[in-house]
Amino acid sequence: MKCINELLKQKKLLIAFIVLAGITLRFYGLGDRSLWFDESLVVLEASKTLPEVLSVRAEGIHPPLFRLILHFLIKKTGTPVLPLDRGLDSGGAVSPGPDGEDVSPAVMDTVVQGDFNEYILRLPSVFFSLIAVILVYMLGRVLFGVNIALLTAGIMSISAFQVHYAQEIKMYALLQCVSLTSCLLLISALRSGKRSFWIAYSLINVLAFYTHYFTVLLLAGESIFVLIYFYRRINREFVKYWLGSLFLTVVLFLPWVMNMSRHLSRVGNDFWLSPLTWRQSIGVFQNFFWGYYTGSAGFIIGKIDVFILCLLGMFCLCIRSRKIASTGEKEKPSLWDNADSSLFVLCGALIPVLCAIGLSFVFRPVFFDRPLIFTSGFYYLFFSCGLCYLGRKNRIASFFLLAVFCGVSWFSLRNYYSDKCFTVSPGVVQRKPLRKMCAYITRNYRPDDAVVLSHHSIVYPLACYLPKRISGRTYLLEPQIKDKYERSTLNGMMGTSGVKFASWRQFSGACRGLWVICSGWNQEIISLPKDMAEWLSNQKLIRENSEFKGQKVYYYELKH
């Protein structure tokens, strides 16, 4: 432990190393992965006109801030997002036109892959995730000092969970960033009493609400803490500032309230998340540290490590905040003390989680890790507090547990980059090589061919990657869905992607060739209906390709 303390003394060097590690991990392989379902939906929505970006139907059930950022990034960089049938490719050769003339494979590659830059589109998430590393350091330093701040920032920097959402075109890294900013501004407002901090606190909360509706859980944790904070003090002159800041937040969010009510109504009718289980609940906290690529036995010791240190850290903070139980000491000599720091972390970590669990039983299941990403920094603080406390009692044990944590973190990152040992988690889907598959289809596509999908899980990505002349002839097999909510959702998907419903009988005599893509969520392969499979058995199979993980691609020449 002595060597760890010596390292912690080199504060500036360590901060630079932590930030550099975060930059390296977040930029490594940034543009390598194809878009998955959710990412491609965000891109399709952000590529539309501004009124459409702000539409209540845009991107399902989420507020518009991240879409707006992506919309203006696309507009500013001039990066074409939707596949375009250009008159000339980058090399000057004629690209496919409306009459569908054949082109060379080289030109086809350019049309499919040159029109889309995943690297640029993922930069906002990288930026917000890196800012969050700095912010969690600042939060840890304000609450507990530099040593715990460094450990907490280090955890966030190398967490496969944080890296995952830093490399995803979704709003979660932004939510992490604005939430940490909200915490810092609230602490600054309480410690200084300056109205400027309260105004800034209101504005950042408005941005958080326009990022994700789970901001209400963040404010629930902060509000519980503020009530305890003022209860402990006789001098409560800042109560009016706090109430005023909440009022300003509500007023500035009013323009979106009607849209929010429609979104909540849709969620209330149905939601894809399954009923809450104890295993899923434990998995949420595990994912905060390791991410989703933990399907190997070696992670068991890491889970035990995290559980012990987080529990120890929580215990230490409870002990530090015991002053709240004392009587006759409501007036404090200062506006902030050690008990306040401990209570702030306890409220920030536990209240949102308890609220989400409660909503899962009285409303709809909503307890999962992605929207609760803003609480992850508090659990990193638990871990860091537990490690430092153990270090004062037993240096060897603390050093051993730190080494175990770093080792398991390295394995989780390695699995993430290599796409191995994926563990299924609510709302998270293993990536597929959709960009390569679309390039393969485009190279071999012939005029009058059609593309048919067995499952809707790749509808949005194909709308992004296939040229218009092919995506315009892409169809989803008509599903047998009776539920109104599911049918409405699927109809919305078709409208956004431009893909159309079709029965397999419509292809008989209507096209020369048929591309059939069998796919599903993760590695699941959804087979064709039995009657369609029988019909295709009488057609001429030209190509069969199973090289694209999680998908099977067939090309049939149809008989007339």
Instruction: Enumerate the β-bridge partners of residue 425.
Output: 428
What pLDDT is attached to residue 323?
56
Q: pTM value?
A: 0.89
Query: Per-residue pLDDT averaged across 230-257, rounded?
Result: 89
- Between CA 300 and CA 294 the distance in angstroms is 9
What pLDDT is attached to residue 218?
97
Q: What is the pLDDT of residues 370-406, one digit of tens each?
A: 999 999 999 999 999 999 999 888 889 889 999 999 9
What pLDDT is attached to residue 375?
97
Alpha helices in 254-298 (DSSP H): 257-269, 278-290
- Between CA 312 and CA 385 the distance in angstroms is 8
Contact 163, 413 (CB under 8 A): yes
Q: What is the pLDDT of residues 47-59, one digit of tens each?
A: 888 988 888 777 7
Contact 457, 523 (CB under 8 A): no
218 vs 305 pLDDT, higher one: 218
Hey, is 243 helix, strand or coil? helix
Most confidently modeled range among 140-149, 234-243, 496-505: 140-149
pLDDT at 296 over 50: yes
Query: Per-residue pLDDT averaged across 323-349, rounded?
Result: 74
pLDDT at 98 over 70: no
482 vs 269 pLDDT, higher one: 269
Contact 555, 446 (CB under 8 A): no
What pLDDT is attached to residue 25?
97
Confidence of residue 278 (pLDDT cuts 50, 70, 90): confident
pLDDT at 338 over 70: yes
Confidence of residue 232 (pLDDT cuts 50, 70, 90): confident
Confidence of residue 352 (pLDDT cuts 50, 70, 90): very high
pLDDT at 369 over 50: yes
- Between CA 154 and CA 131 the distance in angstroms is 13
Hey, is 502 helix, strand or coil? strand
pLDDT at 330 over 50: no
Name the residue type at position 365: P
Burial string for 187-205 (b: 16+ CB within 10 Å, else e) reads bbbbeeeeeebbbbbbbbb
Most confidently modeled range among 105-114, 256-265, 316-325, 506-515: 256-265
pLDDT at 95 over 50: no
Instruction: Determine whether 457 is exposed, middle or buried from the number of CB atoms within 10 Å of its CB (0-12, 13-18, 19+).
Output: buried
Q: What is the pLDDT of residues 18-39, one digit of tens each?
A: 999 999 999 999 989 999 999 9
Name the residue type at position 335: L
**Helix 484-497, helix 37-46: angle, nearest 10:** 60
346 vs 332 pLDDT, higher one: 346
Contact 122, 168 (CB under 8 A): yes
Contact 320, 342 (CB under 8 A): yes
pLDDT at 328 over 70: no
Q: What is the pLDDT of residues 137-174, one digit of tens each?
A: 999 999 999 999 999 999 999 999 999 999 999 999 99
- Between CA 67 and CA 53 the distance in angstroms is 7
Which CA distances in Å does 540 have to 48, 240, 475, 517, 536?
40, 77, 20, 16, 8
- Between CA 143 and CA 349 the distance in angstroms is 14
What pLDDT is attached to residue 295?
76
pLDDT at 104 over 80: no
What angle (nearest 5°) sits at the alpha carbon of residue 44, between those of residues 38 and 50?
Answer: 125
Secondary structure of 88-121 in HEC code, one letter for each residue: ECCCCCECCCCCCCCCCHHHHHHHHHCCCCHHHH
Name the residue type at position 122: R
What pLDDT is attached to residue 96?
35
Contact 345, 377 (CB under 8 A): no
Strand 552-557 to 540-545 pairing: antiparallel
Contact 73, 124 (CB under 8 A): yes
What pLDDT is attached to residue 387?
93
Hey, is 82 helix, strand or coil? coil
130 vs 502 pLDDT, higher one: 130
Q: How much of the chain exceeds pLDDT 70, in percent?
A: 87
13 vs 416 pLDDT, higher one: 416
- Between CA 111 and CA 11 the distance in angstroms is 49
pLDDT at 428 over 60: yes
Name the residue type at position 283: G
What pLDDT is attached to residue 209?
97
Hey, is 424 helix, strand or coil? coil
For the chain, the average pLDDT equals 85
- Between CA 22 and CA 482 the distance in angstroms is 47
Which CA distances in Å does 528 have to 6, 276, 519, 539?
63, 32, 10, 15
If we measure between CA atoms, which residue out of 442, 451, 465, 440 comes closest to residue 512? 451
Confidence of residue 8 (pLDDT cuts 50, 70, 90): low
Q: How much of the chain exceeds pLDDT 90, in percent?
A: 52
What pLDDT is attached to residue 374?
96
- Between CA 390 and CA 348 the distance in angstroms is 23
